[in-house]
Structures are given as C-alpha cells and as structure tokens.
Structure 1
C-alpha cells in the first residue's frame, strides 16, 4: 500500500482478518526478530515455519521420536535457533537452516512455555516455566538445570507440602521471563509478587508487589524493554515502566542495593523493587470483567492487546498505552489459544482452538487521494462536471510547474549497508536469518484428479 494515499489520522492497529494460514493444528506461535518468519507449534509435535511475506511454508521441524503437542516456541536473537517445549516434558533446541535437532533436555514436568536467552546470538541458556513448580534455568551445553527461587520465604506458596519424585516441591503455576539483555529474570508467583533475579548468581535482588496481590499468569516485556506487562488472576492487565537501564541492568540493580541504607534484607529487596518498576496503567473489561488468556504489546509499544478466555469466542481487545479502549476485534466462533503482534508492521496473528488455523489481522486501509493536490475533491457519487470557459486555453511556459533538478551523473552507493533500527531492538539489525527457501505444498488428491 502506497503510504502517500493512506489516511494518517486512523490508528495504526489491525482491524480485519486479511488471510488465514492452515498447516497442521497449531497451538502456539512466535515471530522472529524481523517478522519475516513465523513459527507455529502443532499438536503432532511439528514446528511449522511460515515465510510471512509469501505466506508459504518455508520449513517444518519434526522429530519422529517426539510426537507430543508443542506448548511454546521461541526464536533466538539471530533467528538460527528455535526452542520448543512439549507436553512430554522435553525442551528441544533446533537448527532452523538445517532442520535438525541440536539438543534435548527432559524436565520433571511439562513446561507451559520456554524462552531462550535474548542477550546472545547463539544462546546456551533457556528459561522454562513448568505447570506447577518453580521456573527452571537450563544450560543446554551441559544439560544442567537450576530451580530458581519462587518466593522470598523457604515455605511453599499456599502451604503446599507435596513433592515430585525427585524431591522438588510443588508450587502453584509460575511465570518468568528474561529482560531485554537477559542479565535479569523476572519471576511472578501466586502472591502477586515479581521477583527480580540475577541470571548469573540466581539470587533474588529485588521484590515488587503487584497491586491486588493476585496470581501472576504472564509477564511480557515490550520490544524496546521500557515497559513490562502482567496478566494477573484478578482479571486485570497492568503495564509498568521499567526504570532500570537497558544495558547492564543487573549491575545497575546491584549498585542500587549497595547504596541502600536498610539493614533488613527483605526491606532492601522491597525498596529496590519499588525503584525498578512503576505502575503506568491498568486494563480491564469494564462490562463483563473477563479473564485474559494472553496479552502482549505492539511492536512499537503504543498498543496493548488482550485476548479474553471465552469459550467459543474469538475476541481481541486493543487499548492505547494511555488506557483508552480503541477497538474490539471479533473473529470466528472459536476460542483463541495464542496471539502475537508483528515486530514491525501493524499486523497480528491469532490461533484458533479447534482447527488450529492462524488468522492474520491487518489494518483496513482507507486511501486518501486528496494528498496529491490541494484542490483535489473526493466524490461520494457521480456528479455532472461543468467545464470552465478558459480551462483548455493555452498557458505560457512560465506558469507551468518546474520539475526538480536531478543530477544524473551522481554516483549511487549500493555497497554500503545501513542499519534499519525499525526492524530490530538492537544496532546489529542486519545480522541474522531473514528468509528461508519456501517449500511448495503438494496438491491434494482431489486437485490432482481435477487437473
């Protein structure tokens, strides 16, 4: 779409379903850093990678030894690796270009989702969030697993005393994520607390109490790392401003703690947490007070998106970051399982529950042709045109508009490569995997017979 004929006063967010993709039964999705590839985890254990420009299947990652449903997918920073978690308790690290399995780690419990370390191009660390136990930091090089602290106390949350066969304590469901550079881990527990943990030492550095004190189901950072979103059990989405520096956040937090004069350890952590996060806005469904299945930021962090957990309803709420509800999208009569916003463009992809199809939501563009001339008039219907008497008279050349001078002898530099920061959250935006060769899908037997 030509940017010169688009109405600039309309919000830059998706409005209608543009297309749908169907290959297997998808359950979870994730864009790569540039938004050129879309990975979808399916119920048969396959990870289908779509070329988002051509809307064709570029690669399919599948292991015959693992046919369990995929629960989450995550790209590495450079796009050459993908981490998948499945219901059979496995974390699998894939080489995207070669389509082969690099390593596999078995957890003691199914991970609801897993994340790769975002600070390095070839990460060796991963973060897994099991269904009902503390988050686990996994080293794929050594295969070691480290259980992260889930609470400031030693007792299990809500007084649970059951244990897994390996002796680890059962907790309520937890959520965790890396910050932008991966030097800190943010863990949310059932008491509405966010624990900020140093990735290297795995020690709690700060504690922040989310208003309401309800179970934290989801923690998401914006692409630029300046905002943090929580999806809580009290049916409220909250957005916080991240007050820590983007670079060397762990060191900045350490300096903040050392500069505190509080002698009590818990007091220091709470004070440090209050210096790390500041509540910006709260978002709710004011009519039905619906619980939220998934929430996320837009690529530019200007919009907040929430998909309610409604049986047989495919709804998506869009708010501005200032708290105004701007749009409610309604899709097919089917529940929604996952949602992802394109890193650069005003596009979203949602996953339906029953069929596993991927619905692409795009902006409904309205062309504005009046920008080509100040006296241009758009007509709602046909009108009879009355020609002026002097309209076709010859006019002298002095009244004609002169064209801009173009230096045809000027050399054009086609060798110097520029960095386009709109496509990335870092300066090395041109590095990494952008595209894969698209694999054409074979025709169905019915189409072959007709041909």
Structure 2
C-alpha cells in the first residue's frame, strides 16, 4: 500500500489500539522483533525457534538445536545474527544466512536470560540460575568471565544472585538486577561494578533501556515498575544520577508485570500483566498516565515486544503460547494526494469547468516551477520514510518451505 494514501494523522499514531490477529505457531515462550521490524523470532517451549515474516505472518525458517524452552532472544542490529538462550543450559549464536549455529556454549545450569553486545555479536551477557552472571566472548577461543553480584560498597554477608541483565546501546556498560533489589552498573572493559543503586527490597525481574538511551525502567516483584532518567553514558560515572520519574502500579488489582518495552522515542512504555486481567498496559512516560489497555487475550501474558516501525505490539500467552498482535487499522485517504482532492460517498454528475482541460505550455510550466524553487530530487535516496523513521538496511532471510 502506498504510504501517501494513508491518513497522516493515523500514521503518526505512536501506539496500536486494536487486536489485529492471533498466531498459533506452537507454544511460544519468547518473542522478539528484528530492528527493522521485518521479522519476528518466536522461541517455543520445546526449544524450536521460528522466524516469521511480519508482512505475510508466515513461518519462513525453523531453527532446531535447543531441547528445552527458550528463555531469551536477541537480534543483531544488521538482522543477520540471532542469540538464543534456553533451559537446556545452552546459549546459541545463529547465522540466519545459513540458519546454522556458528557459536555455542554450555553452562553449568539453566540460563535466565542472555543479551547480545550491540557492537559485537560474538559477545554476550548471560544471567544464570543459582550462579553468577557471566560475560562471554566467543569470537575465537571462548572467554568466560564472571560478573560480581554484590553491590558496590555493600558487605558480602547477604547472599544475592543476578536475575536479569542488559547492555547500553553503546555497549560500554552492563546493567544487572539482583534478587535483593539492587541495580549494578558494570564497566564492559574492566568488568568491574562502577555504580550500584538500591531500587527496592525484592527481586528485579526486568531491566529495559529505551532505544534512544534516555530512560531506564526496572520491573520488580513488588508489583511496581520504576522509571528513571538514563544518565549520559559518555559522562564520567561519578556524575551519573538516576532520578526517579514515575512509578507504575495497579493498586486495585495488584497486578504483577511480566515484561516491558519502550517505543522508539521513549514517549510510551508497555507492559504485559500477570494476574486478574490478561491485558497489555500502555503508559505515557512524561506524566506517567495510562493511555491504553490492549485487551483480547484470555490467558496471562508473558513476553512482549514493540515493533514501532509498523506500529504493532506482540505478546505471548502462558497457557497456550499463542501470539497476540495489536496494531493500527489505517484507512486509506485519497485526498492526501492533493489538497483540492475531495472524497465523496457516492457518485455524482460532474460538470467540468470551461478551462479545466485547456492546453498548458510545458515551457511555461517549467519556468513556473523554477520560479517557485520547488526542485524535486529523483536521484538521491531519502534518509527517512513517510513516517519519519530512518531507513535501515537489514539482512534478507531466505524463505524455505516449512512442513506442518
């Protein structure tokens, strides 16, 4: 569909509003969109990973190596590599050009989650069950380094474990969350804790950094999501300040939040629920106000991801593993082609004007265009699309027939 024919006000909408479709491709436990939003990776409970084309909603690749439930998925920025972790104690790096595992490492226990280094797809951080988190480099010989869990300046008398981890977009720092509510900032080069923040006294379940690196959200098991200002990572660590901006909670239903995600400019944030309701909540992060509740699921929701380029949100359910996709239904608006184009509801008899189809001299037309100064460049490629998003060159995954 030509983007010029769409309602510009509808296209500019930042969040989806209706349930568009459901996909039942096995029992999904984790979902993740590629950076360009062309593909959706769905990790199943039996260890299989499906690559789904978001335009056709068809499965184009099936990745088989894990033997137990997938716990996390991370795409590389180019869209060619995919990092997966599983309860089978293994972390795999997939090359989607061949759809084969090019790097793999077996740990001594199940993996809570793993996240790829945004600047080097051979490096990742993994949070392990009943063990310290690790930083791994698999480019040549595997190099595994354990990351400290005890917060900076705190005694070692209290036993803690790392439950979740993420990395800043510039890959200079690692953020980890502990079972005692501490947020640790680790320098990627020295692998030492350089800053610690006591967020709460309960488990930290998720840490999410917005794509533009302006906000930080921490989800804990005390049923509160805390939103902080993200400090400038290029500044000295001594100047960092984490200012608490908003606290998100449902005091009536006492909902637990399973997963959360920012949109591209961090103006909105969504979270999946665990409890009495089975919805996705969307907040405006400036004032912390609730703007939309996405309904439609009959099961409790687990993983959630936001495809802001196509304005859709996907979530997977706990009991059935069905994928629920909320999107925006955009009506065609032909009047966007010209300001004097008028849409009509039914056919009418049109009477043409006397000079409507008179001959226009081409030289006079070109002279008028030159005087107005409107020169249309048809050679250079646009830097942004019709919605204002920069164009991203993404790897094209070969589609193969998938048997039932």
TM-score (norm 2): 0.84
1:223 aligns with 2:211: yes
When residues 156 and 87 of structure 1 are mapped into structure 2, their CA distance, relative to the original with a 3 A threshold, is: farther
SS of the aligned residue for 1:277 comes to coil
Match of 2:17 in 1: 15
Conservation of the 8 A alpha-carbon contact between 1:33 and 1:424: no
Match of 1:98 in 2: 98
Conservation of the 8 A alpha-carbon contact between 2:41 and 2:52: yes
Point out where structure 2 has 5 or more consecutive residues left out of the alignment.
Answer: 370-374
When residues 81 and 107 of structure 1 are mapped into structure 2, their CA distance, relative to the original with a 3 A threshold, is: same
Higher Cα Rg, which structure: 1
When residues 102 and 287 of structure 1 are mapped into structure 2, their CA distance, relative to the original with a 3 A threshold, is: same
Conservation of the 8 A alpha-carbon contact between 1:56 and 1:438: no
1:152-163 equivalent positions in 2, closer than 5 A: 152=152, 159-160=158-159
When residues 184 and 349 of structure 1 are mapped into structure 2, their CA distance, relative to the original with a 3 A threshold, is: same
1:150 aligns with 2:149: yes
Cα deviation for residue 31 of structure 1 reads: 1.2
When residues 399 and 343 of structure 1 are mapped into structure 2, their CA distance, relative to the original with a 3 A threshold, is: closer
1:342 aligns with 2:307: yes
User: What is the aligned-residue RMSD (CA, Å)?
Assistant: 3.6
Cα deviation for residue 339 of structure 1 reads: 0.6
What is the CA–CA distance in structure 2 between the aligned matches of 1:318 and 1:218, rounded to whole Å?
17
When residues 180 and 43 of structure 1 are mapped into structure 2, their CA distance, relative to the original with a 3 A threshold, is: same
Point out where structure 1 has 5 or more consecutive residues left out of the alignment.
Answer: 161-170, 258-271, 445-451
Match of 2:397 in 1: 436
2:222 to 215, 234, 239: 234
CA deviation profile, 1:27-81 (whole Å, cap 9, x unmatched): 1011111111111111221111111122222211112xx4222111111222221
CA deviation profile, 1:152-195 (whole Å, cap 9, x unmatched): 257557x34xxxxxxxxxx3452211001111111222343322
What is the CA–CA distance in structure 1 between the aligned matches of 2:376 and 2:232, rounded to whole Å?
45
Cα deviation for residue 422 of structure 1 reads: 9.6
When residues 318 and 69 of structure 1 are mapped into structure 2, their CA distance, relative to the original with a 3 A threshold, is: same
What is the CA–CA distance in structure 2 between the aligned matches of 1:277 and 1:155, rounded to whole Å?
23
Conservation of the 8 A alpha-carbon contact between 2:36 and 2:394: no
Conservation of the 8 A alpha-carbon contact between 1:296 and 1:306: yes
Conservation of the 8 A alpha-carbon contact between 1:51 and 1:438: no
Moved more, 28-37 or 356-365: 356-365
What is the CA–CA distance in structure 1 between the aligned matches of 2:201 and 2:183, rounded to whole Å?
10
Task: Number of aligned residue pairs: give it.
Answer: 390
Match of 1:168 in 2: none
Conservation of the 8 A alpha-carbon contact between 1:174 and 1:187: yes
Match of 1:139 in 2: 137
1:327 to 292, 296, 302: 292
Match of 2:7 in 1: 6
Conservation of the 8 A alpha-carbon contact between 2:61 and 2:402: no
What is the CA–CA distance in structure 1 between the aligned matches of 2:79 and 2:387, rounded to whole Å?
13
Match of 1:397 in 2: 355
Match of 1:44 in 2: 46
1:177 to 166, 175, 179: 166
